[in-house]
């Protein structure tokens, strides 16, 4: 009599969404040897680990396409804050910064100020860990790590420049020599040969470097000319690889140069391009219309393959004292941020002339990037003076007979980093977010996971998107079905990046999220602070575990609400692995992108 090999795991009683955009169906999911073995009702459970999914949605694991886990993965490869929110694949190397080719000190100077992590801790980690200076070496190192989620990677243009030109020359307007440009092309090709997705670049000059040699200089990628970009983009186009970029955040003019590079019109193929970011900014209330229009022009008229990245959560920024990166959008704020000594930096706003300049430039319109510069929308979160908590700087100023800027500077001068405050930069209008989230011109991502750890908490971005869908349906204004939302977070991204991920069908990788829709409520907005392993500091986290039942990576249970993290997660291999592009199903033929017309869940 034929014997059937027992299943390793049975997820029973859930509503299964397979990542194709189809509606959910009631079924069990059987996992065997790291793959989805079967999806069918009433699977045999003998010998299998059971996961009760009654009342839950069973989906492919989510893909986080824009992280800065490059440092944290060296200290804590489990990347548990993503795992506990159903993320099973993360992308490293965003925004021109990777830890591939440059030496440890250069990597630390590129990374730490931009991503707001302590330089000393990151440099110690790099000196202890980084034994490679090539893409092949980095890939080999990742292959040996006890990864939590799967990992894919971009190589950073700033990393390439620093490795080839030296950090100080790379962070200057001097162009690379022909030989140096040839070497950058070779290193990029070697990264693609090693399974990297492509190249990330950065043209905004607001992102500044750390360290004694290049303190406060913009990232090397922002110093490159378009001849250099065109050479590297040619390599990507020839190999059908990905370019991730960012236009100048203030002038935004060079976006048109990016569009021309991305266009397929008159070329053998377009450059697969993903840019940051489409957002509903308070500073630019109509920007979301422009970004979607630009995407339409790029894809329909210029025959490109262009996507904006969108953050699927309200963009709430937490700040300690003067630690606010977007001050650099105008010259007075930039001058303040460029003062390295803390005592001198906090003393600078005591100068009445500086305050007048700061106040005048805050009112400027043409220099506005991300920040709305409205101190009535900036609230004290914690302070030694409890009477200030919950109040805006504008309200505090009125009560003291002061301008809001004077009230702000007086308070930070008194309390420094002990004054914690927050402001919402955007993504504050649900109806606009619905429009962005269903737009075919955007990808769901841009979480910055692993960076800005005192400022941002977007680890539950996927659950927040599902909440938008649920809330709209409950209000009688559905804009997307649950199946379509799951596809946007999983299969659609896997297809575009060509990764073996994002689906939940027999034969697919068993990377699975078990979501409890009863937890998709206001609690997803809450944040807490928790220690960040390996860095000796606290970070903002989401601890909304009522929205998740379990996360499975490569057929192994990584986290459950009942038991927490698996004891072996981050300690032994067998969960996540390095994913190279081109190994995914030819999903475009089998799983076309569905129209996102309104269809009730």
Quickly state the pLDDT bin for 206 (edges 50, 70, 90): confident
Length of the chain: 601
| Six-digit token string for 104 | 């440890």
Pairing of strands 420-426, 315-320: antiparallel
Residue 588 has a pLDDT of: 35
More confident residue, 277 or 15: 15
Q: By C-alpha distance, which of 68, 62, 49, 66 is closest to 11?
A: 49
363 pLDDT above the threshold of 80: yes
Quickly state the pLDDT bin for 231 (edges 50, 70, 90): very high
Using alpha carbons, list the distances in angstroms from residue 172 to 165, 184, 233, 338: 10, 16, 21, 17
CB 161 within 8 A of CB 219: no
| Six-digit token string for 326 | 């977007």
Give the burial class of 148: count Cβ atoms within 10 A of its Cβ; 0-12 exposed, 13-18 middle, 19 or more buried: buried
116 pLDDT above the threshold of 90: yes
Residue 592 has a pLDDT of: 32
Task: Report the alpha-carbon distance of residue 103 to residue 130 in Å, rounded.
Answer: 8
What mean pLDDT comes out for the span 408-413?
97
Task: Report the alpha-carbon distance of residue 578 to residue 595 in Å, rounded.
Answer: 31
Q: List, for residues 162-185, the tens digit of each pLDDT value.
A: 999 999 999 998 899 999 999 999
Q: List, for residues 392-401, the tens digit of each pLDDT value.
A: 999 999 999 9
Residue 481 has a pLDDT of: 98
368 pLDDT above the threshold of 90: no
CB 95 within 8 A of CB 114: yes
Task: Report the alpha-carbon distance of residue 100 to residue 466 in Å, rounded.
Answer: 35
What mean pLDDT comes out for the span 196-216?
95
Residue 511 burial (CB count, 10 A)? 35
Q: By C-alpha distance, which of 479, 482, 540 is closest to 515?
A: 482
Q: What percent of the chain has pLDDT over 90?
A: 89
What mean pLDDT comes out for the span 399-419?
97
What mean pLDDT comes out for the span 215-225?
95
Residue spans of beta strands (DSSP E) within 525-566: 528-532, 537-541, 548-553, 556-560, 564-565
Residue spans of beta strands (DSSP E) within 97-246: 150-156, 198-200, 242-245
Q: What percent of the chain has pLDDT over 70?
A: 96
Residue 601 has a pLDDT of: 29
Q: What are phi and psi for residue 57, nearest 5 degrees?
A: -100, 135
Averaged confidence pLDDT in the chain = 93
Quickly state the pLDDT bin for 583 (edges 50, 70, 90): low
Domain edges within the chain: 61-182+196-224+240-316+427-500+520-541, 317-426
Dihedral of alpha carbons 165, 168, 170, 172, sign: negative
Task: Report the alpha-carbon distance of residue 471 to residue 473 in Å, rounded.
Answer: 5
Quickly state the pLDDT bin for 441 (edges 50, 70, 90): very high
464 pLDDT above the threshold of 50: yes
Task: Report the alpha-carbon distance of residue 428 to residue 600 in Å, rounded.
Answer: 24
CB 87 within 8 A of CB 97: no
Residue 482 has a pLDDT of: 98
Residue spans of beta strands (DSSP E) within 322-461: 379-382, 420-426, 442-444
Q: What single DSSP character describes residue 297?
A: I
Q: By C-alpha distance, which of 3, 134, 150 is closest to 67?
A: 150
Quickly state the pLDDT bin for 108 (edges 50, 70, 90): very high
Alpha carbon distance, N-terminus to C-terminus of the chain: 43
Residue 347 burial (CB count, 10 A)? 12
Residue 534 has a pLDDT of: 87
CB 206 within 8 A of CB 221: no
Residue 490 has a pLDDT of: 98
CATH topology of domain 61-182+196-224+240-316+427-500+520-541: TIM Barrel (3.20.20)
CB 445 within 8 A of CB 64: yes
Q: What single DSSP character describes residue 170?
A: H
Task: Report the alpha-carbon distance of residue 502 to residue 486 in Å, rounded.
Answer: 9
What are the residues whose beta carbons fall under 8 Å from the beta carbon of 37, sequence distance 6 or more?
A: 7, 30, 31, 506
Q: List, for residues 240-296, the tens digit of each pLDDT value.
A: 999 999 987 666 678 888 988 899 998 999 999 999 989 999 999 999 999 999 999
Residue 252 has a pLDDT of: 66
Task: Report the alpha-carbon distance of residue 589 to residue 220 in Å, rounded.
Answer: 40
Full-model pTM: 0.94
């Amino acid at each position: 009599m034929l014997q059937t090999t027992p299943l390793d795991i049975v997820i029973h009683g859930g509503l299964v969404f397979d990542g194709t955009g189809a509606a959910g169906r009631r079924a069990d999911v059987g996992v065997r040897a790291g793959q989805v073995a079967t999806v069918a009702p009433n699977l045999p459970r003998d010998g299998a680990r059971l996961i009760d999914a009654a009342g839950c949605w069973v989906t492919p694991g989510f893909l986080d396409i824009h992280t800065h886990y490059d440092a944290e993965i060296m200290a804590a490869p489990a990347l548990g804050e993503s795992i506990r929110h159903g993320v099973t694949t993360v992308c490293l190397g965003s925004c021109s910064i990777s830890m591939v080719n440059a030496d440890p000190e250069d990597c630390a100077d590129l990374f730490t100020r931009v991503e707001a992590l302590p330089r000393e801790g990151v440099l110690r980690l790099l000196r202890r860990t980084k034994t490679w200076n090539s893409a092949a070496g980095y890939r080999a190192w990742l292959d040996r790590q006890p990864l939590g989620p799967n990992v894919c990677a971009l190589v950073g243009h700033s990393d390439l420049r620093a490795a080839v030109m030296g950090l100080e020359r790379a962070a200057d307007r001097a162009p690379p020599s022909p030989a140096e440009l040839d070497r950058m092309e070779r290193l990029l090709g070697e990264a693609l040969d090693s399974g990297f997705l492509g190249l990330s670049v950065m043209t905004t000059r607001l992102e500044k470097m750390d360290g004694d040699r290049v303190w406060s200089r913009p990232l090397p990628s922002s110093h490159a000319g378009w001849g250099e970009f065109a050479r590297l983009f040619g390599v990507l186009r020839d190999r059908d690889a990905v370019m991730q970029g960012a236009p100048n955040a203030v002038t935004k003019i060079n976006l048109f140069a990016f569009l021309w590079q991305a266009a397929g019109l008159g070329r053998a193929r377009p450059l697969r391009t993903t840019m940051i970011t489409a957002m509903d900014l308070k500073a630019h209330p109509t920007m979301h219309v422009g970004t979607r229009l630009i995407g339409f022009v790029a894809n329909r008229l210029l025959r490109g393959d262009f996507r904006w990245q969108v953050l699927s959560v309200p963009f709430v920024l937490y700040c300690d004292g003067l630690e606010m990166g977007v001050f650099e959008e105008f010259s007075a704020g930039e001058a303040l941020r460029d003062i390295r000594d803390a005592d001198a930096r906090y003393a600078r706003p005591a100068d009445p002339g500086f305050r007048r300049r700061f106040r005048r430039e805050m009112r400027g319109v043409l220099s506005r990037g991300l920040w709305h510069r409205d101190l009535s929308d900036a609230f004290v979160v914690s302070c030694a003076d409890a009477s200030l908590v919950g109040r805006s700087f504008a309200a505090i100023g009125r009560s003291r007979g002061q301008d809001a800027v004077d009230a702000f500077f007086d308070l930070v001068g008194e309390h420094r980093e002990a004054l914690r405050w927050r402001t919402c930069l955007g993504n504050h209008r649900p109806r606009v977010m619905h429009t962005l989230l269903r737009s075919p011109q955007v990808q769901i991502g841009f979480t910055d996971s692993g960076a800005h750890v005192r400022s941002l908490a977007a680890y539950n971005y996927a659950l927040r998107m599902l909440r938008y869908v649920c809330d709209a349906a409950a209000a009688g204004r559905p804009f997307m079905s649950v199946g379509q939302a799951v596809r946007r977070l999983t299969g659609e991204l896997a297809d575009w990046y060509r990764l073996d991920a994002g689906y939940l069908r027999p034969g697919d990788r068993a990377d699975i999220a078990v979501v409890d829709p009863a937890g998709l409520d206001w609690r997803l907005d809450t944040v807490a602070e928790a220690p960040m392993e390996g860095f000796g500091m606290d970070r903002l986290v989401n601890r909304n575990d009522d929205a998740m039942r379990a996360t499975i990576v490569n057929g192994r249970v990584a986290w459950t609400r009942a038991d927490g993290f698996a004891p072996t997660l981050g300690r032994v291999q067998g969960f996540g692995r390095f994913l190279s592009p081109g190994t995914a199903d030819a999903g475009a033929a089998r799983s076309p992108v569905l129209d996102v017309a309104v269809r009730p869940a």
